[in-house]
C-alpha cells in the first residue's frame, strides 16, 4: 500500500491529505464522541485515555499520505 502512495504526485497527496483533514477528521471526532457517550460517562481519566488513544489511532492509516506534505514541493 505504501508503494501506491509513493506513486502519487505531491499535489495529489496534498489534496488527499486536505480532504482527509476537512471531511474525515470531523467525522472521526463524531464517531469518537459517540463511542465515549455510549459508555455512560466513565471516569475522567478513562475518558481522557480513550480520547488520547482514539486521537492517535486515526492517523496511523494515513501516515504515508501525510509524510512530507509540510515540506516544500520536490523538484520534478
User: Is residue 74 included in any domain, yes or no?
Assistant: no
Say if residue 68's pLDDT is above 80.
no
- Among 8-17, 42-51, 67-76, the minimum mean pLDDT is found in 67-76
User: Is residue 73 included in any domain, yes or no?
Assistant: no
User: Is residue 72 included in any domain, yes or no?
Assistant: no
Domain count, the chain: 1
Q: Is 0.75 topped by the overall pTM? A: no
Domain residue limits at 27: 2-66
Distance between CA 2 and CA 8 in Å, rounded?
10
User: Is residue 12 included in any domain, yes or no?
Assistant: yes
| pLDDT value, residue 5 | 67
**Mean pLDDT, the chain, integer:** 84
User: Is residue 71 included in any domain, yes or no?
Assistant: no
pLDDT tens-digit map of 27-55: 989 988 888 888 888 889 988 998 899 88
Determine if residue 41 is left, alpha or beta; phi over 0 gives left, psi from -120 to 50 gives alpha, anything else beta.
Answer: left
User: Is residue 33 included in any domain, yes or no?
Assistant: yes
User: Is residue 76 included in any domain, yes or no?
Assistant: no
Rounded to the nearest 10 degrees, the angle between the axes of helix 25-37 and helix 44-57 is 150
Residue whose C-alpha is closest to residue 5's, from 70, 72, 68, 64: 64
| pLDDT value, residue 63 | 82
Amino acid at each position: 500500500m505504501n508503494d501506491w502512495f509513493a506513486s502519487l504526485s505531491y499535489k495529489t497527496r496534498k489534496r488527499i491529505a486536505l480532504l482527509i483533514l476537512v471531511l474525515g477528521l470531523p467525522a472521526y471526532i463524531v464517531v469518537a464522541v459517540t463511542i465515549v457517550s455510549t459508555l455512560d460517562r466513565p471516569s475522567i481519566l478513562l475518558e481522557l485515555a480513550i480520547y488520547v488513544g482514539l486521537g492517535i489511532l486515526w492517523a496511523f492509516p494515513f501516515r504515508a499520505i501525510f509524510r512530507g506534505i509540510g515540506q516544500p514541493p520536490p523538484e520534478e
